[in-house]
């Protein structure tokens, strides 16, 4: 498989390419796209093409490559999605690519040692490998959008007008250092849970998954690296010296844990999940961290309860809208392949509620083979015959509009426009 790699400079670091040093005040390497083979791209010390050194990043006396990746289609060159463009434009407003927000922790000496062990997973099917590759830049999902939204919210709200305080002097580009630290903490927490979600349930292991020892080793690395990221996030949280913010983000961590637990404990085939419980569960696992981080950003700037609540509402509804958009992608995109989706995705939950539990179980039997494997293409066709997809689309539009509504009370600015564009983007397919 081939990947298209985009070289980017890291905020505050020096990147060397073809012997030329790009110093700290350079933000990116424009036009630096090239193709390499898959086996060359996971934690290499340098990337070479045709015997020529292309990148050599020096950090803490150890050279590590740090470059973004996205799939490269050898048949076509599709234009970037609307969401990707909106995020890219928003990054310009805050001043640097937030794809590198958790870099300081990811390239620490401790995690570098873990990375050397994780490299042993190359060639296996353990999901930690794909998670690690997505740390830098995932052009389809933008895994690290949460920190960007926290920064945009901070910039859109600005300083609290009712306080004359020396903290105003520390603002850089309309954002306090504590708010930048909060954005990084938010990313670390999200990344930690992404890593932990990659732990494989060994009870469901089959020979087709590869050697059992690879899965066991990958699980150990996922636990270790996820815990390390979470510990660093908690340390940074304490250094903000704001008990209210610590309480907010700590409760968000608890919400994510609770949401993930509910996800794993509900039976999609039995259809026990209702639309209301889907929203509650999705908020816990996908929305609570963003919503409470936006609220915490307002608290750090000493804004009142009204601004904090509006920021919370924006984060909540944007996260729910983004999840709905992701769930709907397989159903609304023509020729979307592969047709694999969660049985707890929003369109399926709406469909189950429409047809009822008995008919749902009958439909599942219709699309299962002798080995009880589901033909998702057939199931998608059955779901699209009912109103579940259209109802999920309506709910996506509702959350997008609620996010827009929350931004109306903030003063007009580039940051506010970027947040509004994000809210609009989650309703487009």
Q: Does residue 373 sit within a domain? A: no
Mean pLDDT estimate for the chain? 75
Residue 27 and residue 157 in one domain: no
- Picking from 189, 260, 193, the residue whose alpha carbon sits closest to that of residue 223 is 193
Instruction: Name which of 38-47, 384-393, 415-424 the model is least confident about.
Output: 38-47
Asked if residue 428 is part of any domain, the answer here is no
Flag whether 352 is in a domain.
Answer: no
Both 40 and 87 in a single domain? no
Across 239-243, 258-262, 414-418, least confident range = 258-262
Predicted confidence band of residue 167 (pLDDT cuts 50, 70, 90): low
Domain count for the chain: 2
DSSP-derived secondary structure letter, 284: I
Give the residue ranges of DSSP H helices in 368-413: 376-384, 388-407
Query: Residue 274 has which token pair?
Result: 């209702």
Cα gap 296→319, rounded to integer Å: 16
- Residue 265 and residue 134 share a domain: yes
397 within domain boundaries: no
Residue 345 placed within a domain: no
Does 172 share its domain with 72?
A: no
Asked if residue 347 belongs to a domain, the reply is no
CA distance 135 to 377: 31
**CA dihedral (65, 66, 71, 72) positive or negative:** negative
Out of 38, 59, 78, pick the residue that ends a domain.
Answer: 78
Segment 2-21 mean pLDDT: 33
Do 27 and 118 lie in one domain? The reply is no
Q: What is the tens place of the pLDDT at every residue in 70-128? A: 222 222 333 346 778 888 888 888 875 555 555 555 555 555 666 666 666 666 766 66
Chosen domain end from 326, 341, 367: 326
Domain range spanning residue 290?
Answer: 81-326
Give residue 47's pLDDT: 42
pLDDT for the residue 30:
32
- Do both 165 and 45 map to the same domain? no
**36, 302, 281: which is closest to 154 by C-alpha?**
302
Do 85 and 60 share a domain, yes or no?
no
The closest alpha carbon to 328, from 383, 408, 269, 291, belongs to: 383
Within a domain: 158: yes
Regarding whether 287 and 317 lie in a shared domain, the answer is yes
In this prediction, residues 241-268 reach a mean pLDDT of: 89
Last residue of some domain: 305, 326, 347?
326
- 9 and 149: one domain? no
Please check whether residues 147 and 69 belong to one and the same domain: no
Counting beta carbons within 10 angstroms of the beta carbon of residue 119, is it exposed (0 to 12), middle (13 to 18) or buried (19 or more)? middle
Kindly report which listed range (25-29, 305-309, 382-386) carries the lowest average pLDDT score.
25-29
Residue 135 lies in a domain: yes
Which CATH number goes with the domain that contains 301? 1.10.600.10
Where residue 68 falls among pLDDT bands split at 50, 70, 90? very low
Taking residues 313-328, what's their average pLDDT? 96
- Residue 138 DSSP class: B
How far apart are alpha carbons 186 and 45 in whole angstroms? Answer: 28
Residue 308 above 60 pLDDT? yes
Q: Are residue 242 and residue 130 in the same domain, yes or no?
A: yes
φ/ψ (deg, to 5) at 287: -110, -25
Same domain, 66 and 154: no
Instruction: Give the other-Cβ count within 10 Å of 287's Cβ.
Output: 26
The full length of the chain comes to: 429
Tell me the pLDDT tens digit for each residue of 186-228: 988 998 898 888 888 888 777 777 778 888 888 888 888 889 8
The three-state secondary structure class of 35 is: strand
């Amino acid at each position: 498989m081939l990947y298209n790699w985009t070289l980017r400079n890291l905020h505050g670091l020096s990147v060397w390419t073809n012997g030329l040093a790009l110093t700290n005040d350079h933000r990116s390497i424009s036009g630096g796209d090239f193709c390499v083979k898959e086996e060359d791209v996971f934690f290499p010390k340098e990337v070479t093409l045709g015997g020529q050194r292309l990148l050599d990043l020096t950090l803490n006396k150890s050279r590590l490559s740090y470059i973004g990746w996205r799939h490269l289609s050898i048949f076509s060159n599709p234009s970037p999605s609307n969401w990707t463009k909106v995020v890219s434009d928003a990054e310009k407003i805050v001043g640097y690519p937030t794809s590198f927000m958790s870099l300081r922790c990811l390239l620490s000496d401790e995690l570098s040692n873990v990375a050397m062990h994780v490299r042993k997973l190359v060639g296996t099917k353990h999901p930690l490998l794909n998670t690690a590759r997505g740390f830098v830049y995932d052009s389809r999902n933008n895994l690290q959008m949460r920190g960007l939204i926290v920064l945009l919210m901070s910039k859109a709200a600005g300083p609290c007008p009712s306080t004359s305080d020396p903290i105003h002097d520390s603002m850089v580009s309309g954002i306090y250092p504590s708010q930048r630290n909060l954005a990084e903490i938010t990313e670390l927490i999200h990344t930690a849970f992404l890593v932990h979600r990659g732990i494989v349930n060994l009870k469901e292991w089959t020979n087709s998954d590869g050697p059992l020892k690879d899965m066991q080793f990958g699980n150990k690395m996922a636990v270790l690296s996820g815990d390390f990221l979470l510990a660093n996030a908690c340390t940074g949280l304490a250094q903000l010296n704001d008990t209210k913010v610590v309480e907010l983000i700590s409760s968000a961590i608890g919400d994510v844990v609770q949401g993930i637990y509910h996800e794993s404990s509900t039976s999609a085939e039995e259809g026990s999940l209702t639309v209301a419980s889907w929203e509650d569960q999705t908020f816990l696992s996908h929305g609570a961290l963003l919503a409470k981080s936006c609220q915490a950003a307002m608290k750090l700037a000493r804004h009142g309860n009204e601004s904090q609540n509006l920021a919370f509402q924006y984060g909540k509804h944007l996260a729910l809208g983004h999840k709905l958009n992701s769930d709907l992608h397989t159903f609304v995109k023509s020729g979307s392949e592969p047709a694999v989706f969660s049985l707890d995705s929003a369109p399926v939950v709406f469909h189950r509620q429409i047809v009822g539990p008995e008919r749902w179980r009958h439909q599942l039997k219709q699309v299962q083979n002798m080995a009880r494997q589901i033909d998702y293409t057939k199931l998608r066709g059955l779901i699209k015959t009912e109103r579940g997809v259209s109802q999920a689309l309506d709910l996506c539009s509702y959350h997008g509009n609620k996010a827009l509504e929350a931004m109306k009370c903030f003063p007009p600015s580039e940051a506010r426009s970027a947040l509004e564009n994000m809210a609009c983007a989650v309703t487009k397919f």
